[in-house]
Amino acid sequence: MTILSGTMRIAIKFAYDGKKYSGYARQPNLKTVERELVEALVKHNFLKDTKESVFRSASRTDKNVSALCNVVAFNTSTSKKIILNDLSNDFSSTIVYGIKDVDLEFNPRYAKMRQYRYYLPIPSLDIEKIITTSSCFTGEHNFSNFARIGSFKNPVRTIDNIILTPKDGFLIIDFFAQAFLWHQIRRIISALIKVGNGKLEKEQINDALANPDKKVDFGLTPAEPLILMDIKYDFEFEYDKKLLDQLSLFEKNICSSLLKVIH
């Protein structure tokens, strides 16, 4: 890769309502988060194409999954102040609110920590059982029975912490890990729901974790209640405070219809 004189690498942090897009990753003839973002960067001449700029995304969320924080990085000759200012009003369902000069080798996929949040409606569920059983998933496990494992993908992951908070008719479940597998959280949530309504016992969860070659399927919950909350690196982003302050309202709007999604 040839680095032209005057080239910088910029990382931007942004939020989006996943229900307004046909997924995150670029797809032909579909409105996606990544496609809309790249088109805006090209329109403003911040980059010519994704290959030349070494455009990289931190997380490719599933269709209907929202984010209060996702991160992309790209090479450019434009200053971060101009980029943040020009992108701040470009989107109806995305907020670009943070920016940072980073090393030219920086790849946002290699984060220190990711936080996902799932909004689980709590009527008719045994919350104490769910809270007790959730501890089964912390630490290092083979999650073959709780994820969709792609070819040559290592099914072993470490979940550092799971925090459960009853609030406003939801059980808010926050997951913290460096990296997650495809559908991992939504399959864990599905298993926890079955524990909460008496269809599964904690011992069956432990058995599925301890015996990954013994295939079981506990189902997959809807994507809409899942939000990518934060991604941590060895540095802090610089924020537009006015846009940053909008995130709590943005999250509230994303969650406003969730009680209609899961029953």
Q: Give the Å distances, CA to CA, from 29 to 21, 34, 35, 136, 207.
A: 12, 13, 10, 42, 44
Determine the 3-state secondary structure of 86 from DSSP: helix
Q: What domain range is 122 assigned to?
A: 113-210
Q: Are residues 191 and 123 in the same domain?
A: yes
Residue 4 has pLDDT above 80, yes or no: no
Residue 5 has pLDDT above 50, yes or no: no
Total of domains in the chain: 2
Residues 93 and 167 in one domain: no
The yes-or-no verdict on residue 214 having pLDDT over 50 is: yes
Confidence category of residue 3, pLDDT binned at 50, 70, 90:
very low
In terms of C-beta distances under 8 Å and separation of at least 24 residues, what long-range contacts does 102-105 make, across chains too?
102/9, 102/10, 102/11, 102/73, 102/235, 103/9, 104/3, 104/7, 104/9, 104/75
Residues 28 and 93 in one domain: yes
What's the CATH code of the domain at 201?
Answer: 3.30.70.660
Summarised one tens digit per residue, pLDDT across range 108-147 is: 999 999 999 999 988 789 999 999 999 999 999 999 999 9
Mean of the per-residue pLDDT values for the chain? 91
15 strand-pairing partners: 95
Among candidate residues 84, 110, 136, the one where a domain is terminated: 110
Query: Closest Cα to residue 43, out of 87, 102, 80?
Result: 87
pLDDT over 90 for what percent of the chain?
Answer: 77
- What pLDDT sits at residue 44? 93
Tell me if 250 is assigned to some domain. no
Per-residue pLDDT at 41 exceeds 50: yes
Least confident of 63-67, 81-85, 149-153: 149-153
Active site residue 62: yes
Residue 78 has pLDDT above 80, yes or no: yes
Q: Which entry of 62, 90, 160, 240 is annotated as an active-site residue? A: 62
